[in-house]
Structure 1
Amino acid sequence: MPHDIWVSNSLHFVFYFLYINLQISVAFLASSAFSKVETASVVGYIYVFGSGLLGCFLFQFLIEDLSFPRHWIFVMELYPGFSLFRGLYEFSHYAFQGNLTGRNGMKWKDLSESSMDKVFYIIIVEWPCLQNQVSTVAVEMEKLDVIQESEKVEKLMLEQSISHTIVCNKMNKEYPGRDGNPPKMEVRGLSFAVPSGECFGMLGPNGAGKTSFINMMTGLVKPTSGSAFVQGLDICMDMDRVYTSMGVCPQHDLLWETLSGREHLLFYGRLKNLKGSDLDQAVEESLKSVNLLRGGVSDNPAGKYSGGLDPASRMNLWTVIKRAKTNSAIILTTHSIEEAEFLCDRLGKFVDGRLQCIGNPKELKGRYGGSYVLTMTTAPEHAKDVEMLVQDVSPNARKLYHIAGTQKFEIPKEEIRISQVFQAVEKAKRSFKVFALADTTLEDVFIKVARRSDL
């Protein structure tokens, strides 16, 4: 008798184990169709309760109706909810018979007699098939541009090509846990390549892992795994040679208040092994590029320089950086979207140690934009009038915020023509003080990408 119980329990265990894994695969596949947790939760509840109700009031009736074709029963069991119901139905049927005959439920030898063998076949085949579909959907729905960049890096690694000045291949950085805290993974599988003449912008919130990446590239810390190359030199093996061709501007300026601008350049030039006339020429050109030759300013102590950066000086500095990339590759980390759009040929959004998207600014705005931004400011009593106006222009417009009489809406591009908006506002211009319509900005793009990465 104990042996019979063990056999029956093992059958139950295998059935539930297989079905649970099948259901996990179904959940991952279904999750790719939802962007909001609330929607996924509602659909999940409907799936669970709907499957039970259909099983009790439809599927069970068809199972017991011997005139109903058996092959259609098999087809219906391809739906995971019905395969679970069929298994539970057969288990309960044998348990009821066991109470009458003294048997201990279904045994392995009863599979073919009870049609449970078909249920097992379905689950065993569907489980790996759905797993493959999950990975396929993940590739299609998310980060296709990042995957393509990773494939490009793999090709460069196989060819051992130095056509790209900087190549990062599956870099990871994990810091060990301390004081009872778990280990922290700062950089996760980072792969991208930067050719000569390109400025690559790495954007992301604080704590995304940008500093850890720069620290690895400059030799301050070593990658936990993966590799990176600068002009074909491995940063883990040839860092001394890498330093001869690498320049770094850290997060905080490395300036000495008592040294002049010229003295700073002479010092850093010697670090780069410049000497004699070459050093003097490089210093003069650098001072001239940032307008420090006029009025003897270059010989003033750095501590007396202005700490601000007016718009004209900022634009001049950006122009200098743009010229500097002519024969080099630049990686720029910044929180300024304006600076990134002006300087960078390509941008990468870095969140939680991973690249979430990569491409040139125009591509990213086209891929993640798809909307106009309409901003209106009016007296508070006209707030409802503004909403009605926008709904008339675009029924699918989405309000982004409403603060102190200013309302901001996102309008799908495919729904409207700009002329329609101007005409609608022209009719109501006496009621509205401010009106602005703009294309999607890079800031809008990165906010949207960051929100998606948090889902």
Structure 2
Amino acid sequence: MELEFIKEMPKPATKLKLDIASLLGTLFFAWVVIQLFPVVLTALVYEKQQKLRIMMKMHGLGDGPYWMISYMYFLAICALYMVVFVAFGSLVGLKFFTLNDYSIQFVFYFLYINLQISLAFLVSAFFSNVKTATVVGYICVFATGLLGAFLFQAFIEDASFPKGWIIFMELYPGFALYRGLYEFAEYSLSGNSLGTHGMKWGNLSASENGMSDVMIIMLLEWIALLFIAYYVDQVFSSGSGKNPKYLLQKFRKKRPSSFRRPSLGRQGSKVFVDMDKPDVVQEREKVEQLLLEPTTSHSIVCDNLRKVYPGRDGNPEKMAVRGLSLALPRGECFGMLGPNGAGKTSFISMMIGLTTPTTGTAYVEGLDIRTQMDWVYTSMGVCPQHDLLWETLTGREHLLFYGRLKNLKGASLKRAVEESLRSVNLFNGGVADKQAGKYSGGMKRRLSVAISLIGDPKVVYMDEPSTGLDPASRSNLWNVVKRAKQGRAIILTTHSMEEAEYLCDRLGIFVDGSLQCVGNPKELRGRYGGSYVFTMTTSVNDEQEVEQMVRRLSPGAEKTYEMAGTQKFEMPKQEVSIADVFEAVEVAKSKFPVYAWGLSDTTLEDVFIKVANSAQQFHKLT
């Protein structure tokens, strides 16, 4: 009771100096910064998955410029992200940012984002699917933060834990980031509670401060990872890949004037040629002669090109291309016909640098595809079988980009883009400025053809260019390709006999990895057609008379169709003349009523079926 009215002496109020951001923000800020890693990783893997990078490379973009442009783009994005991160934290008054020296923060974040980008380039070489890369990237984000907060931080705060092991753990970029953020948090927390400044440059020399070790580790690791990532990319991810010793060769490589030379081991090249095919033998002899000449007007010379895929899982090796020799002069469109699995795609893949030949080689504008593919790309255009486009870029932007890769600039670039858009009917109606992801299948196909022809490439490869087009668009596209033949060589694969006959100066039928015949459509029909197709429609009672008439004209004739008075016969050309057929029909008209009749030559489709079937039977027997 005596102390009931005794009160504590009043004193001035004190400010609460607890900085929650410094106390609990290390984990949160680590997550915020590492979020950049999966963003960069998925962007790189997306270009790889959609084959956009190899498409750019095939149109002349070298690996060096690609790396430099991509790296600077990601660096700019990450730097802007970190500036906003620090600026926002400072504006809301977080001591984590305001007390620590901004120059130290700049150096630390700059080193880390460069290290993170280099790591993303390295890791992207081992992924081919965006979804997988995204999942792995975000697992790394959250796992790094949690391990840093509940494991790594405990080691840092344990004075008995060896410092060497901490430095070893900081070799992992995520732990290096966490250690730096931890040091910022500790200095801002102590500075706030004592009313002093946070981390300054002078504090980096303190024994308990790990920031200097972290910065040195990140700098050295950034340089090492960037070099390793570029090397891994060149060996494993750039199209066909390169020899692991290529860096030693790169310093000795100069731009060559001519690379054409006869290939070694030509004595055994005729193993793959059936001597019953004089046109194929003649083409091989032509190639041998061209290889001995110092200069040539031929854009493409394939010299005994062969591709064998090794056997896997107990299956035998697959010979996709069997000693192909072919020569294409400028101004010629060569059509490759063949059933599915014949080896056409394997041949195109070797010519555009996606795979390397097992033996033999090819020369494009005098450059060897085995060793000088980077120079070949500068004079090459490609329309792949599947449209390789950025969904967020417009048709005009695609052509502007690929036009710049072909050294078009200023007014000439704009003029070339407009002409390309008009030629493939993508100019009117605002279609040119619509995103490619909103194009129909036919519009994408037309854009792919326009991309392959922009910049006046000397050699163009078109893999089924008119697939999915309506008849009007197909006809217009054929006119574009026909005009584009002037001054350049075009190799075109197709399953449309009409397209092949309209566009191609010469055709080659490709079956089971080997060229079965070469020639223009008229020559092939004359050489392999071998028969006329005679059709006559009469009454059912006169069918026997018609058959007897055909047998008199051609004893070797074969009936192929009969229904309701209509009959079809195949008559060997060597047994019958067209004049005799007309005369026999006039005689028949005087004997019985003839409702309709016709005589047609063998079509290109008939030739294709006959050659393909005979070649497949031959390879089965051998």
1:410-449 equivalence runs, <5 A: 410-414=570-574, 415-416=576-577, 417=579, 418-420=581-583, 422-423=585-586, 426-427=589-590, 430=593, 432=595, 434-449=596-611
The change in CA–CA distance for 1:138 and 1:289 in structure 2 (over 3 A counts) is closer
Q: Match for residue 293 of structure 2?
A: 159
- d(CA) in 1 for partners of 2:591, 2:500: 38
TM-score (structure 1 length as normaliser)? 0.64
- d(CA) in 1 for partners of 2:441, 2:309: 39
Which deviations, in whole Å up to 9, do the C-alpha atoms of 1:134-154 show, x marking residues without a partner? x9x963xx1111111101101
- d(CA) in 2 for partners of 1:270, 1:263: 11
Number of residues of Structure 1 aligned to a counterpart in Structure 2: 317
Q: Match for residue 283 of structure 1?
A: 417
Is 1:260 the counterpart of 2:394 in the alignment? yes
- d(CA) in 2 for partners of 1:198, 1:188: 24
Is 1:365 the counterpart of 2:499 in the alignment? no
Instruction: Give the secondary-structure state (helix, strand or coil) at the position aligned to 1:247.
Output: strand
Instruction: Give the secondary-structure state (helix, strand or coil) at the position aligned to 2:495.
Output: coil
Which of residues 153, 167, 185 in structure 1 aligns to 2:319? 185
The change in CA–CA distance for 1:428 and 1:168 in structure 2 (over 3 A counts) is farther
How far residue 253 of structure 1 moved from its aligned partner, in angstroms, is 1.9
Residue identity matched to 2:472: A
CA contact (8 A) 2:533 2:571 kept: yes
CA contact (8 A) 1:393 1:420 kept: no
Which deviations, in whole Å up to 9, do the C-alpha atoms of 1:298-340 show, x marking residues without a partner? 2233424464533332121111101111111000111111111
Moved more, 382-391 or 203-212: 382-391
Instruction: Give the secondary-structure state (helix, strand or coil) at the position aligned to 1:223.
Output: coil
- d(CA) in 2 for partners of 1:247, 1:408: 46
Which deviations, in whole Å up to 9, do the C-alpha atoms of 1:273-321 show, x marking residues without a partner? 3332222111011112123323333223342446453333212111110
Instruction: Give the secondary-structure state (helix, strand or coil) at the position aligned to 1:252.
Output: coil
Unaligned runs of 5+ in 1: 1-134
How far residue 349 of structure 1 moved from its aligned partner, in angstroms, is 0.9
CA contact (8 A) 1:202 1:350 kept: yes
- d(CA) in 2 for partners of 1:397, 1:274: 61
Which deviations, in whole Å up to 9, do the C-alpha atoms of 1:84-138 show, x marking residues without a partner? xxxxxxxxxxxxxxxxxxxxxxxxxxxxxxxxxxxxxxxxxxxxxxxxxxx9x96
Q: Match for residue 214 of structure 1?
A: 348
The change in CA–CA distance for 1:428 and 1:442 in structure 2 (over 3 A counts) is farther
Which deviations, in whole Å up to 9, do the C-alpha atoms of 1:49-93 show, x marking residues without a partner? xxxxxxxxxxxxxxxxxxxxxxxxxxxxxxxxxxxxxxxxxxxxx
- d(CA) in 2 for partners of 1:285, 1:421: 56
Which of residues 303, 314, 333 in structure 1 aligns to 2:474? 314
Which of residues 212, 225, 236 in structure 1 aligns to 2:359? 225
Q: Match for residue 204 of structure 1?
A: 338
Which of residues 429, 452, 455 in structure 1 aligns to 2:614? 452
CA contact (8 A) 1:377 1:407 kept: yes
- d(CA) in 2 for partners of 1:406, 1:355: 38
The change in CA–CA distance for 1:442 and 1:425 in structure 2 (over 3 A counts) is farther
Which deviations, in whole Å up to 9, do the C-alpha atoms of 1:8-28 show, x marking residues without a partner? xxxxxxxxxxxxxxxxxxxxx
The change in CA–CA distance for 1:384 and 1:299 in structure 2 (over 3 A counts) is farther
Q: Match for residue 335 of structure 1?
A: 495
Moved more, 421-430 or 190-199: 421-430
Q: Match for residue 91 of structure 1?
A: none
Instruction: Give the secondary-structure state (helix, strand or coil) at the position aligned to 1:259.
Output: coil
Q: Match for residue 372 of structure 2?
A: 238
- d(CA) in 1 for partners of 2:321, 2:603: 27
Is 1:375 the counterpart of 2:535 in the alignment? yes
Q: Match for residue 204 of structure 2?
A: none
Identity within the alignment, %: 66
The change in CA–CA distance for 1:257 and 1:382 in structure 2 (over 3 A counts) is farther
Instruction: Give the secondary-structure state (helix, strand or coil) at the position aligned to 1:172.
Output: strand
How far residue 377 of structure 1 moved from its aligned partner, in angstroms, is 5.5
- d(CA) in 2 for partners of 1:241, 1:269: 17
1:23-422 equivalence runs, <5 A: 139=275, 142-302=276-436, 303-305=438-440, 307=442, 309-376=469-536, 384=544, 386-402=546-562, 407-414=567-574, 415-416=576-577, 417=579, 418-420=581-583, 422=585
Instruction: Give the secondary-structure state (helix, strand or coil) at the position aligned to 1:188.
Output: strand
Q: Match for residue 121 of structure 1?
A: none
The change in CA–CA distance for 1:421 and 1:443 in structure 2 (over 3 A counts) is farther
- d(CA) in 1 for partners of 2:610, 2:307: 26
Q: Match for residue 106 of structure 1?
A: none
Moved more, 165-174 or 415-424: 415-424
How far residue 437 of structure 1 moved from its aligned partner, in angstroms, is 1.7
How far residue 361 of structure 1 moved from its aligned partner, in angstroms, is 1.4
- d(CA) in 2 for partners of 1:338, 1:215: 25
Instruction: Give the secondary-structure state (helix, strand or coil) at the position aligned to 1:241.
Output: helix
The change in CA–CA distance for 1:402 and 1:220 in structure 2 (over 3 A counts) is farther
Residue identity matched to 1:393: L
How far residue 196 of structure 1 moved from its aligned partner, in angstroms, is 0.5
Moved more, 405-414 or 204-213: 405-414
CA contact (8 A) 1:165 1:231 kept: yes
- d(CA) in 2 for partners of 1:261, 1:403: 52
CA contact (8 A) 1:389 1:424 kept: no
CA contact (8 A) 2:334 2:492 kept: yes
CA contact (8 A) 2:537 2:594 kept: no
- d(CA) in 2 for partners of 1:266, 1:380: 66
The change in CA–CA distance for 1:402 and 1:218 in structure 2 (over 3 A counts) is farther
- d(CA) in 2 for partners of 1:380, 1:268: 64
The change in CA–CA distance for 1:404 and 1:161 in structure 2 (over 3 A counts) is farther
- d(CA) in 2 for partners of 1:421, 1:181: 58
The change in CA–CA distance for 1:143 and 1:275 in structure 2 (over 3 A counts) is same
Q: Match for residue 205 of structure 2?
A: none
CA contact (8 A) 2:549 2:584 kept: no
- d(CA) in 2 for partners of 1:391, 1:279: 66
How far residue 425 of structure 1 moved from its aligned partner, in angstroms, is 5.8
How far residue 342 of structure 1 moved from its aligned partner, in angstroms, is 0.7
The change in CA–CA distance for 1:239 and 1:379 in structure 2 (over 3 A counts) is farther
Unaligned runs of 5+ in 2: 1-270, 443-467
Instruction: Give the secondary-structure state (helix, strand or coil) at the position aligned to 2:314.
Output: coil
Structure 1 or 2, whichever has the larger Rg, is 2
Q: Match for residue 58 of structure 1?
A: none
Q: Match for residue 98 of structure 2?
A: none
